[in-house]
Amino acid sequence: MARKKSKKVSEKQAAQAQATGPMGKIKELMQFFEESKVEIKKVVWPSRKETITTCIAVLVVSVVIAIYLGVVDLAFSKIVEVVLS
């Protein structure tokens, strides 16, 4: 049992030693892209209608918040103007 564990440890050390070289880094990069491709296939992309609806909602909320902040800024600037004059 102990021999199997030490064999696995030595294999990991050999793999790490090999991965430190330029070829090891290239293999790691290739593996990363392969795993990324697998994960991208798992993604459930929104439909065109969902994307447009969400985009419109974001734009509307952004405009409403911009108007609100503009009004609050105008009010505070008028208050500060009155206080300082």
Whether residue 69 is predicted with pLDDT greater than 80 in this model: the reply is yes
- Whether residue 19 contacts residue 27, with contact meaning beta carbons closer than 8 Å, is answered with yes
Q: Which long-range contacts (CB under 8 A, 24 or more apart) does 49-57 make?
A: none
Whole-prediction pTM: 0.53
Whether residue 27 is predicted with pLDDT greater than 60 in this model: the reply is yes
Whether residue 2 is predicted with pLDDT greater than 60 in this model: the reply is no
CA gyration radius for the chain?
29
Measured distance CA(24)–CA(14) in Å, rounded = 11
- Residue 20 has which token pair? 């430190």
- Taking residues 11-23, what's their average pLDDT? 64
Mean pLDDT, the chain, rounded, equals 86
Which region, left, alpha or beta, applies to residue 43 given φ > 0 means left and ψ of -120 to 50 means alpha? beta
